[in-house]
Structure 1
Amino acid sequence: MTFVDAMRKIYRPLGFSKGYNFPLFVIFAGAMLGFSLARLQYLNVAGDASTSYKNGARPGEWYIMRGGHYRIGITLHLATVIPGGILSVFQFVPVIRKKLILFHRINGYLIIILFLLGNVGALMIARRAFGGGFATQSAVGLLALTTTISLFLAYYNIKRLQIDQHRVWMLRAMFLFGTIITTRIIMIIAALILTKIGDYYELVSCAEIAFARSVSTADAAFLQDYPVCRIAAYTAVTASMSATPGVETVGAALAIPFGAAIWMSIFLHLVSLEIYLQLTPREGQRLRQLSYEKQLARGFKHPGSAGLTSDRWGDADPWVPLTAEKRVEEAEVPSIASSDSAAS
């Protein structure tokens, strides 16, 4: 048995018809599922367990998030995006979309609600999360705006039975939500680089440093390390993953590159998704043909273009549905999508 035959026995029962889609699903959906499952322990926001958000967040972060609207924001954010990330994986399993249509619809509505609420929570904490730098605030704002718009357009298009555009906008939303995973990877790498360079500093409140060390601001060892705190409320903390002289240096090392890491992740995810969409036009054409048939059966005006399509809202040429003969001809054209068949 060849490798391709073995892989087919795995992905065909899940509904995947093209060999290239399954590894992409495993990589991206697997990353989302793994990250969300690993963060399930954070649903215990304020618990004393070592796995709670309180004890697992960036050193010093709980000082800010432990009260006020920040506590509400982080609780709302974690309680929605973690289950939303897990549930979103099921939306991209073809066999569920085809055979469990009711589950796909209900799950889709639930995901939209969860992620929208998650955006509200993210905006509530953006001012202070990971240091709350302006780069962080602007990136969080952009993510909240673009994902909200993407979810709205995905919802509108599916209500108009414009399945091809629903696919495009849901992919954009999910890829943008996945930036948090790439952000963590870039942030950790950058923090290690900053530690190696050795002359990066973060302005941190003395109260937050003392809180991270579990001491008072009058502690002798604390004041020896940060004498400025005798007369000022803020002091410079060296960015270092070595936790010397205390854990606050790790917090600084993670906070400094966080904003840049988000922006880099947004860029990488947007570009990679658009490349994928440009390389899979036949899937878009197939779904548009399916949209045409469903819209025609429902008596929609402009079947095939009842949703937000470029031929109605832009200057694209009018879309023409494929005839039965043309669909057969299209199906017989070899492409990279069928390379798994040729490989066997």
Structure 2
Amino acid sequence: MDISSSPARPARSDTEKAPSKSRHIWQRLYAAVGFSKGYNFILFFIFAGAMMGFVLARLSYLNIGGAASSSFKNGSSPGEWYWYKTGVYRIGITLHLGAILPAGFLMVWQFVPIIRHKAILIHRINGYAIVLLVFIANAGALMICRRSFGGTIETQAGVVTLVFLTTTSICLAFYNIKRLQIDQHRAWMLRAMFYLGTIITLRIIMIISALITSQVSNYYSTMPCDEIASLYDSNAAFSANYPQCNTRNGTVDGRVVVKAKFGSQPEQIGASLGLSFGMAMWLALILHLVGVEIYLALTPREGNRLRQVSYERQMEQGYEHPGSAGITSDHWGDADEWKPVESLK
């Protein structure tokens, strides 16, 4: 065939070149922070961005009982401050907020690849700090769960479950990294961080639920009279709205039924949020439990790559079961024995 007689290939138009150029810019953008896949950068931007935004929006809550409108005292659910202002609950909320907000800020940087690859010492120190802060925050959460958003049974059970899941996941991640089982360290740390992110999804579900229940039907909850009284500046107004509450020896006694509704009365707002909190926690927890497992199932190549790295490092250290020195299904369960890449050739 005469090549010279074949029709000349038309030159690419500017519109055809544009996607290639924009794709190159996009690749340079996520590669600059160490990501090798664009979808990982997008997921990081969404979830890490949500965590960072939530933490920055709540930093003012570190001013636990200040007079400023941005403090936790004035930003918490109506009625909660009555319990948190003194005693063991004040210690608990201080420990929880003082630890979990810094932990949330620091954990974002643990998932930036360039820090893990180029600044390993910073990654390790930051990891130890996060572990310590999360444990302190979990202790504080257990101290206050009896009064958090009404302290219902489902709320207490949800808090205990979340504390158990995060603590267990972090401990397993810590054990695996000490055994140089990097693939399992990645998996368990991702689970721990996803579980901790439940509180963000929880807030969204809780507010939506509170708004819906305020409009579609009549929902009610019970609240202690003394908690409601703390929300009123006038004893006369409180007595007029809740004559069922008894005043004995200068203290308010008993419980009353409060309508759960987003309205002008703060106790109704508090009842609405408290009524939705337990349900929102369990629903958010299920979403995060399933979501992280789906992500791990869809990224087996990264897990396999890290297991190969684990094998090589464990071989250098003389481990008895290189590639399976940590908590792996072939070492602790009945899975087929894992073989390194060089053994499969």
TM-score normalised by the chain length of structure 2: 0.91
Amino acid across the alignment from 1:312:
H
For 2:29 and 2:269, the matched residues in 1 are separated by 43
Match of 1:274 among 286, 293, 306: 293
Which structure has the higher relative contact order (CA within 8 Å, separation 6+)? 1
Question: 1:202 is paired with a residue of what secondary structure?
Answer: strand
Superposed displacement of residue 198, structure 1: 3.7
Q: Does the CA-based 8 Å contact 1:213-1:248 persist in structure 2?
A: no
Q: Which residue of 2 aligns with 1:340?
A: none
Q: Which residue of 1 aligns with 2:276?
A: 257
Larger Rg: 2
Q: Which residue of 1 aligns with 2:227?
A: 208
Question: 1:22 is paired with a residue of what secondary structure?
Answer: helix
Match of 1:222 among 238, 245, 250: 238
For 2:246 and 2:31, the matched residues in 1 are separated by 67
Match of 1:97 among 105, 116, 129: 116
- Is 2:171 aligned against 1:152? yes
Write the mapping of 1:55-66 to structure 2, written as runs, cut at 5 A: 55-66=74-85
Q: Which residue of 2 aligns with 1:233?
A: 254
Which deviations, in whole Å up to 9, do the C-alpha atoms of 1:109-136 show, x marking residues without a partner? 0000000110000000001100000000
Which deviations, in whole Å up to 9, do the C-alpha atoms of 1:185-242 show, x marking residues without a partner? 0000000011002411111111111212234xxx222111111114752111111112
Q: Does the CA-based 8 Å contact 1:198-1:240 persist in structure 2?
A: no
User: How much identity, in percent, do the aligned residues show?
Assistant: 57
- Is 2:190 aligned against 1:174? no
Amino acid across the alignment from 1:287:
L
- Is 2:132 aligned against 1:83? no
Q: Which residue of 1 aligns with 2:142?
A: 123
- Taking only aligned residues, the RMSD between alpha carbons, in angstroms, comes to 1.3
For 2:159 and 2:239, the matched residues in 1 are separated by 35
Where in structure 2 are there 5+ consecutive unaligned residues? 1-17, 248-252
For 1:121 and 1:302, the matched residues in 2 are separated by 39
- Is 2:31 aligned against 1:31? no
Q: Which residue of 2 aligns with 1:289?
A: 308
Question: 2:231 is paired with a residue of what secondary structure?
Answer: helix
Superposed displacement of residue 325, structure 1: 8.9
Q: Does the CA-based 8 Å contact 1:45-1:53 persist in structure 2?
A: yes
Aligned residue pairs total 321
Where in structure 1 are there 5+ consecutive unaligned residues? 327-344
TM-score normalised by the chain length of structure 1: 0.91
Amino acid across the alignment from 1:239:
A
Which deviations, in whole Å up to 9, do the C-alpha atoms of 1:133-153 show, x marking residues without a partner? 000000000011111110000
Q: Does the CA-based 8 Å contact 1:33-1:86 persist in structure 2?
A: yes
Amino acid across the alignment from 1:64:
W
For 1:17 and 1:136, the matched residues in 2 are separated by 40
